[in-house]
Amino acid sequence: MGVVKVSLMGTRGVPALHGGFETAVEEIGRRLAARGYEVTVYCRNPGQRRTEYLGMNLVNAPALRHRMTETLSHTAVSTAHAIIKDRPEVVLLLNAGNAPLLRPLQLAGIPTAIHLDGLESKREKWRGTGARYYRWAERASVRWGDEVIADSQAIADHVKAEYGRDSVVIRYGAEIIDPGSDRLGDLALEQQGYHLIVARFEPENHVLDAVSAYRLSTEARSLVVVGSAPYSHGYIEAVRAAAQQDPRIVFPGGIYDQQLLDQLYANARTYIHGHSVGGTNPSLLRAMGAGAPVLAYDVEFNREVTDSSAFFWTAAPELTAIFDRSAGQGLDDRLTEFAASGLARIAAVYQWDSVTDEYESLIEGLAARSRRKATQR
């Protein structure tokens, strides 16, 4: 078939510094480039001047810096560049909120697969007008996308039940990591001496519930709460207020030092995962790949990812009870079991090489379809 040009757009791009979509773009994009694909990644990293990274071509495009307009405005500029200048054979468009750009890409003859990002309309930050937009965007994504990508079977089941369309299920990947512990002293922590949360401070991630639950527990080990949120100042204040200046609760803010973050996952007594509206969550995968036992909010997505090898909770008192049991040694055997199960699950199901195999198959199918249409004109 020859070299296939593929563009990835709809995220902050690479290098990956921000979240799961960006990590996926970097891991998949660099592997596709190594396999001979001509890969372009559209980025919105202010001040970034590099034009190449790990074999990928980078295009840094502007955006209107507002919660409601940032992603869509950036993807609109990226789409114009792709149509007018780059002319890829396939586009991988991430985030259902970018659904309006599907039509211009299709009219330009560029087949596009759109990756849904959980149930965006249920996120608190999009309530009201934002939630209505995301409900429309989800419908539009399913209607207009040449292919629809779901990162979990639960999301695919939702799409099938709601819209009657099959999705291509392609999960995220993760690494098995053993990063050591020599950086823990940077935060005055010791191995197995703390519990860990890594999350954006948003209501659907239940950070407030987890902090409240811990504060009422008898656990003497620290709770380290990593993260922030650019548009959730009220919720951040509520989380900090719930801690009531408890010296056991540590707020280091967002941590973008990946080695330190890996060490935090790998040496935690537990990882508390309160995310409730996403599909396959990269932070959960990373914790499992580091061998951290998981205390997860009880939704179908988290049960699917962990294969139910975790402690589950749906309210703060339930989590407080788990922390109280963790204060002694009563949970030690189960935590060891969950750590081993998580590592095995990552090794068997969530490897980037096999994830890239699935994306490659999808891209080849879309490119072949495009070339068939071209020969029929």
Q: pLDDT tens digits for 319-364?
A: 999 999 999 888 999 999 999 999 999 999 999 999 999 999 999 9
| Cβ neighbours for 305, distance < 8 A, ≥ 6 positions apart | 152, 280, 281, 284, 285, 288, 345
What is the rounded average pLDDT of the residues 254-270? 95
* Helices (runs of H) and strands (runs of E) counted in the chain: 13, 14
Q: pLDDT tens digits for 318-330?
A: 999 999 999 988 8
Among 335, 340, 309, which Cα is nearest to 322's? 335
- Is residue 194 within 8 A of residue 268, CB to CB? The reply is yes
Separation CA 147–CA 124 (nearest Å): 28
Report the C-alpha dihedral over residues 82, 87, 88, 93, rounded to 10 degrees.
20
The conformational region for residue 164 under phi > 0 = left, psi -120 to 50 = alpha, else beta, is left
Determine the 3-state secondary structure of 178 from DSSP: coil
Cis check for the bond before 203: say yes or no (omega within 30 of 0).
no
Give the pLDDT confidence score for residue 2 in this predicted structure. Answer: 75
Residue span(s) of the chain under CATH 3.40.50.2000 come to: 5-173+351-376, 184-349
Output Rg (C-alpha) for the chain, integer angstroms. 21
Cross-strand partners of 317? none
Mean pLDDT lowest among 62-76, 124-138, 184-198, 356-370: 124-138
CA distances from 85 to 7, 12, 107 (A): 12, 20, 15
Q: DSSP letter string over 58-82?
A: EEE-----STTTHHHHHHHHHHHHI
Cross-strand partners of 52? 57
Pairing of the two strands 56-60 and 90-94: unpaired
Instruction: Identify which has the larger pLDDT, 375 or 205.
Output: 205
What length is written for the chain? Answer: 377
Strand spans (E) along 51-177:
52-53, 56-60, 90-94, 112-115, 147-150, 168-169
Q: pLDDT tens digits for 173-227?
A: 999 999 999 999 999 999 999 999 999 999 999 999 999 999 999 999 999 999 9
CATH superfamily of 5-173+351-376: Glycogen Phosphorylase B; (3.40.50.2000)
Q: Which CATH architecture has domain 184-349?
A: 3-Layer(aba) Sandwich (3.40)
Q: pLDDT tens digits for 30-48?
A: 999 999 999 999 999 888 9
- Is residue 60 within 8 A of residue 48, CB to CB? The reply is yes
- Token representation of residue 201: 């401070």
- Token representation of residue 27: 């891991």
- Is residue 98 within 8 A of residue 74, CB to CB? The reply is no
What are the φ/ψ torsions at residue 179 (nearest 5 degrees)? -85, 0
What is the rounded average pLDDT of the residues 117-146? 79
Mean pLDDT lowest among 49-58, 83-92, 325-334, 366-375: 366-375
- Is residue 154 within 8 A of residue 160, CB to CB? The reply is no
Q: Which helix (H) or strand (E) holds 225?
A: strand 222-226
